[in-house]
Structure formats: C-alpha cells, structure tokens
C-alpha cells in the first residue's frame, strides 16, 4: 500500500469508470455471452508474478465487460434498480480506503455513530414513528440485504417467543406472509403462505390471515411472526398494514414490514400513505440502493426494541471486551446482525444525503414514477397489450393480450417476447407470474434513464411483438 501508487492507479481507475459511464449505452444491456464463456479466456491458475494495471484493465474491457449485464444502463428495466451515483460511489470509495471493521464501537466509533445518526435522518424523512428512532429503545442499522434484515428480526422474534413458550415450541412456530412476499422470506424459514390475488391487487387479505392464525392456534401451534409488504417484488402490491398490525398485536406476533423497494418512494409526502399503519409494526426495512442513489449494498432496518435483537445476536467473547461496551455506553452493531464484521456503509448514505439533499432525492423518485406513467400510457393505448395491475410506483406490469382467450399460448408468447427483447441487447426487462399469467415487468429506476429511453424501449417491445404476431 504505497500512497503514491494508490494515487496514480486510483486516478486511472476513476478515468476507466468515468469512461465506462460515458459509453454505457454502447453495450448490450443484458450480457449476450454463453454459459462458461470466461473459462476459456482466463488461465487455469493465478500468476506467480505481478502483471501490469494495463494488462488487467485490458482484460476487464475485453473479457469481463462482455459478461456484464449493465444495471446502470439507462435501458435497464429488469428486476428492481440498483442505484449508483457519484456520491454513493465516493462514499463507498472512502469506506474501502479506510477499510475499518466496525464490529464494536471501539473498533471505529465513527462507523457506529454515523450509522445511528444517518438512520435517524432517514427515519425522519420517512416520518417513521418516534419509537424507531435511536433516542429511546429503538434504532436503525444497515444490513447487506433485505433477506438479512428479515432473518435478523425473525430470529429476534423467535428467541423472544421461545423465552416464554419454552424451547419445545421450536417445531410449532409459524410465520405468515402473502404469496407475494419476496423469496428472501422463504430463504429465511418455512412460511405459511397466504394466497393473494387480483381481487385485492395482490395485497394480503386480513380475514385470510385471521383465519389462518385462528386455525393454527386451535391446532396448538405458535403464530409468532408476520411479514407485511409495501411494494411486492412481482407487482408492488401494498398490504393493508394497519389491519394486519391489529391482528399481529392481538396475537402477540412480531410484525415486520418489508418495503425494500417501495419504501424509497415514501420519503415523498404524497407517497407516505403507503406505509400508513407502520406504527403497528415492530420492524421495518427498505433498501436505499433500490431508489436513493446509494450504491449496493445498503438495506436499512429499523426496530422498536433493539434489545430483542441484541438478546438474540449478542456474543461477547473476551477478545472483544472493552471499557465502552462493558459500561453499556455504546451500541455494538455486531449484536444487530448475523455476521461479526461489518463495513463502514453509513459513509455512502451520508454522502448521498449531503451531496444531493432530501429535496433532490424526492424529485429523483418522482421523475421515475412520472416516466412509469408515460410507459403505462403507451401500453394501455396499444390494443395488443394490457396493463395487468394498477401501477403505483415506477413498475409497470403488462403483457400481450391473449388471442381467442388462449391463456396458455398467451403465456408462451409473452415469454417469447421477453427473450426477443432481451436478446436484442437494446433493453433488459424481466417477468413474473401473477395468478398464473406470465407478466412482463418494466421497472424504471436507473439513474441515467430519461424519457427517450422509455420511449425507445417501448418501440423495441412493439416491434418485437409485431414480429411475433406476424409469424
């Protein structure tokens, strides 16, 4: 680690990345390589001796970039966005430069304290209830992903219920969520999945939950955790939080609200309504990298009772003991997460908030939603296409309509269209299934996306569709 070499090489890498952004529209959005392509391009083992930065950067250009799917392309409309910004990039660079591991306060006090402060800032922007702020029992923490956030609160909830119900209840615990919940939850545990359908635009029906909980209680099971959604992955459905929260509360269940994607929009007063009812929740998460210009990874989790979390996750070996922790004067974030070690991730969120300011972030979000409205209108004006669920945020779910009511053919035609569009390299969209229908997802949220990209994308989709219909 030579500071002058860092300077020289760092400048070259910055130029390389700036040039990448300058030319990003020249790449096929979805990588067009075949499985295994890289194996033949790289040697079988690590070099014994140093190679030059030139050689490595050449290889990045020639061998790596063709295998990259360009999430930062303005024509990336698949999945949900992964935001990159100058501020987010700088913050991550600084964090990488300092390269501290802030597992406990003493290991780098600023890493812990800045995280507490910035999570309070965000909680205020979201107008979260006071109990989620750090001044009382609550507080926020940065997790890597929504999956981790959900796993953390679920384990906290589990340990809490087991403390009163006894360890033998372990095999009888039940988690509830709608079938629209992100697969993160399935990864975290076995879930009682409640069906959501078009009648509620894929929101969870409280009656269905109440019924399931009652049946399980009768059967001697322990309902202990409910995951509500604000903005499901498939179609941005919004569960009725207040009603769900009531049921959770009356059954002493932990109520978690996953707003990974849509939570970002809720910093705008006009969208805040979608998390109304969050006051009934025990915990809440949203991913700042999905809409707040903060580079991945950055998933924000707030809890009302930090002690429920630390009781589950605290490990205190002698080699980590220190005066500040022993005196209970500080937060040790190692006790709020699965891993021990952690990066200084609050730096990038802090730099985003300062270099852009809250109002700019709101305009940024609003612009994506405005572009989604444009796309929605284009789709609905075309008789060959249908918008499938009401657009709420910046995702439009749509499909080619069935011909002669043949749903099966319609599904495969939409999948054909998906493949044709993505193989063109001109844009990248993804798909989902809603009540058995194959649906195309057009998700707007890349920082560089402008109206012209949306219109150009629609043109490509229409052309490919015409071609398919003509066949």
**58-77 positions binding a copy of itself, by CB under 8 A:** 60, 63-72
DSSP, residue by residue, 86-117: HHHHHHHHHHHHH----SSGGG-HHHHHHHHH
User: Which region, left, alpha or beta, applies to residue 236 given φ > 0 means left and ψ of -120 to 50 means alpha?
Assistant: left
Smallest separation (angstroms) from a copy of itself to the CB of 121: 4
Q: Please identify which residue in 315, 405, 452, 471 interacts with a copy of itself, judged by CB under 8 A.
A: 315
Residue 262 burial class via C-beta count within 10 angstroms: exposed 0-12, middle 13-18, buried 19 and up = buried
Q: Please identify which residue in 26, 164, 183, 381 interacts with a copy of itself, judged by CB under 8 A.
A: 183
CA angle 281, 342, 92 (to 5 degrees): 100
Q: Please identify which residue in 131, 141, 148, 458 interacts with a copy of itself, judged by CB under 8 A.
A: 148
Give the closest residue to 460 by CA, choosing from 16, 30, 82. Answer: 30
Whose Cβ is closer to a copy of itself: residue 70's or residue 304's? 70
Which part of the chain contacts a copy of itself (CB under 8 A), choosing from 50-58, 203-211, 221-229, 240-248?
A: 50-58
- Total Cβ atoms within 10 A of residue 93: 17
Where do we find the tokens 């194996």? Answer: 39
CA angle 381, 384, 388 (to 5 degrees): 75
Give the closest residue to 192 by CA, choosing from 222, 220, 164, 170. Answer: 222
Which part of the chain contacts a copy of itself (CB under 8 A), choosing from 42-50, 193-201, 211-219, 401-409?
A: 42-50
Of residues 11 through 30, those in contact with a copy of itself by CB under 8 A are: 11, 13-22, 30
Whose Cβ is closer to a copy of itself: residue 133's or residue 247's? 133
Give the closest residue to 191 by CA, choosing from 200, 182, 199. Answer: 182
Q: Please identify which residue in 124, 246, 249, 272 interacts with a copy of itself, judged by CB under 8 A.
A: 124
Q: Is 441 in the site for a copy of itself (CB under 8 A)?
A: yes
Q: Is 221 in the site for a copy of itself (CB under 8 A)?
A: no
Q: Please identify which residue in 215, 217, 403, 433 interacts with a copy of itself, judged by CB under 8 A.
A: 433
Smallest separation (angstroms) from a copy of itself to the CB of 330: 5
- Distance, CA of 75 to CA of 449 (rounded, Å): 7
Q: Is 353 in the site for a copy of itself (CB under 8 A)?
A: yes
Of residues 235 through 294, those in contact with a copy of itself by CB under 8 A are: none
Whose Cβ is closer to a copy of itself: residue 182's or residue 205's? 182
Q: Is 420 in the site for a copy of itself (CB under 8 A)?
A: no
Side-chain half-sphere of 244: how many Cα atoms within 13 Å?
Answer: 30
- Distance, CA of 179 to CA of 397 (rounded, Å): 17
Which part of the chain contacts a copy of itself (CB under 8 A), choosing from 45-53, 220-228, 245-253, 301-309?
A: 45-53
Of residues 284 through 303, those in contact with a copy of itself by CB under 8 A are: 295-297
How many residues contact a copy of itself, by CB under 8 A?
Answer: 141
Secondary structure (3-state) at 408: helix
Whose Cβ is closer to a copy of itself: residue 245's or residue 291's? 291
Of residues 81 through 120, those in contact with a copy of itself by CB under 8 A are: 82-86, 88-90, 92-94, 96-101, 105-111, 113-114, 117-118, 120
Side-chain half-sphere of 323: how many Cα atoms within 13 Å?
Answer: 0
Q: Please identify which residue in 26, 164, 166, 168 interacts with a copy of itself, judged by CB under 8 A.
A: 168
Which part of the chain contacts a copy of itself (CB under 8 A), choosing from 144-152, 217-225, 300-308, 366-374?
A: 144-152
Where do we find the tokens 């190679």? Answer: 51
Smallest separation (angstroms) from a copy of itself to the CB of 456: 19
Q: Is 187 in the site for a copy of itself (CB under 8 A)?
A: yes
Q: Please identify which residue in 200, 380, 424, 430 interacts with a copy of itself, judged by CB under 8 A.
A: 430
Q: What letter would DSSP give residue 42?
A: S
Where do we find the tokens 């707003």? Answer: 259
Run of H or E residues at 284: strand 283-287
DSSP, residue by residue, 311-369: HHH----GGG--HHHHTT-S--GGGGSSSS----THHHHHHHHHHH-HHHHHHHHHHHH
Q: Please identify which residue in 147, 201, 285, 414 interacts with a copy of itself, judged by CB under 8 A.
A: 147
Of residues 327 through 346, those in contact with a copy of itself by CB under 8 A are: 329-330, 338-341, 343
Q: Is 219 in the site for a copy of itself (CB under 8 A)?
A: no
Q: Is 170 in the site for a copy of itself (CB under 8 A)?
A: yes
Q: Which two tokens stand for residue 270?
A: 């006009």
Q: Please identify which residue in 50, 220, 383, 470 interacts with a copy of itself, judged by CB under 8 A.
A: 50
């Amino acid at each position: 680690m030579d500071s002058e070499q860092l300077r020289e090489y760092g400048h070259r890498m910055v130029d390389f990345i700036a040039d990448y952004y300058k030319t990003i529209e020249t790449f096929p959005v979805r990588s067009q390589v075949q499985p295994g392509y890289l194996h033949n391009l790289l040697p079988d083992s690590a070099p014994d001796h140093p190679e030059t930065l030139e050689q490595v950067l050449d290889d990045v250009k020639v061998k790596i970039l063709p295998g990259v799917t360009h999430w930062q392309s303005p024509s990336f409309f698949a999945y949900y966005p992964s935001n990159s910004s100058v501020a987010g990039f700088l913050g991550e660079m600084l964090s990488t430069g300092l390269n501290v591991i802030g597992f406990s306060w003493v290991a780098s006090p600023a890493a812990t304290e800045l995280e507490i402060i910035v999570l309070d800032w965000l909680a205020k922007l979201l107008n979260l209830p006071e109990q989620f702020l750090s001044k009382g029992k609550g507080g926020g923490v940065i997790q890597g992903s929504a999956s981790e956030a959900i796993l953390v609160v679920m384990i906290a909830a589990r340990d809490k219920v087991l403390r009163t119900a006894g360890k033998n209840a372990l095999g009888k615990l039940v988690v509830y969520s709608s079938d629209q919940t992100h697969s993160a939850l399935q990864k975290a545990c076995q879930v009682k999945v409640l069906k959501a359908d078009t009648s509620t635009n894929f929101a969870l029906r409280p009656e269905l939950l109440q019924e399931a909980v009652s049946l399980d209680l009768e059967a001697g099971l322990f309902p202990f955790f409910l995951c509500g959604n604000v903005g499901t992955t498939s179609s941005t459905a919004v569960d009725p939080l207040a009603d769900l929260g009531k049921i959770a509360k009356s059954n002493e269940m932990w109520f978690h609200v996953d707003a990974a994607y849509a939570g970002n929009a809720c910093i705008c007063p006009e969208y805040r309504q979608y998390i109304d009812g969050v006051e009934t929740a025990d915990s809440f998460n949203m991913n700042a990298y999905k809409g707040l210009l903060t580079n991945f990874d950055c998933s924000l989790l707030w809890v009302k009772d930090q002690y429920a979390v630390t009781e589950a996750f605290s490990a205190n070996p002698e080699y980590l003991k220190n005066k500040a922790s022993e005196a209970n004067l500080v937060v040790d974030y190692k006790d709020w997460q699965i891993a021990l070690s952690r990066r200084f991730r609050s730096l990038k969120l802090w730099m985003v908030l300062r270099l852009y300011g809250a109002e700019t972030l709101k305009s940024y979000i609003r612009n994506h939603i405005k572009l989604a409205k444009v796309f929605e209108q284009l789709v609905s004006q075309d008789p060959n296409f249908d918008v499938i669920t009401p657009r709420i945020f910046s995702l439009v779910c749509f499909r080619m309509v069935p011909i002669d009511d043949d749903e099966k053919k319609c599904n495969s035609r939409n999948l054909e269209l998906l493949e044709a569009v993505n193989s063109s390299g001109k844009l990248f969209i993804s798909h989902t299934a809603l009540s058995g229908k194959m649906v195309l997802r057009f998700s707007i949220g890349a920082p560089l996306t402008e109206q012209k990209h949306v219109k150009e994308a629609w043109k490509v989709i229409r052309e490919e569709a015409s071609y398919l219909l003509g066949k």
